[in-house]
Amino acid sequence: MALSASGFGPAVPVPHMTMAMALLHIASGEGSFGGGQGLAVWLQVSDDEGLTWYDLPLDQSSKTSASGTNVVADTHKRNLSGTTVHQATGAHQFFGLIRHLVGKTIRAAWSITGTGPLFAFEVALVGK
């Protein structure tokens, strides 16, 4: 499904998860984007079943091209995509590592900016 507005994904209970990797796959991105515009995606955690949400920083993150070629890596940032280093304006994959996951519930959040933006993307979380 393609989205054109900022929003949040569903709240997912993760009561026993202590580590995780987040995977963001952007299948397509359309529109006109100026500096700092595009798709920004990050994770949020809650310790009270979704009443209060906190942005979750990533220990490491990496952006790859659609062909799988590594483009750049970053450390200790909030955004899975949408930073100066990890600008998302088209098809890409992003990986984020969370070494110490705290909270009982997690969700994805995103901001979509630009002129006529339309993004098709999905976020997955794999944990232990």
C-beta of residue 38 within 8 angstroms of C-beta of residue 128: no
Q: Cα separation of 40 and 58, whole Å?
A: 14
Confidence of residue 68 (pLDDT cuts 50, 70, 90): low
CATH of domain 2-121: 2.60.120
**What residue segments make up the domains of the chain, in order of their start?**
2-121
pLDDT at 53: 97
Q: Within 13 Å and on the Cβ side, how many CA atoms surround 92? A: 23
Give the pLDDT confidence of 13-31 residue by residue, as tens digits: 998 999 999 999 999 989 9
The overall pTM is greater than 0.75:
yes
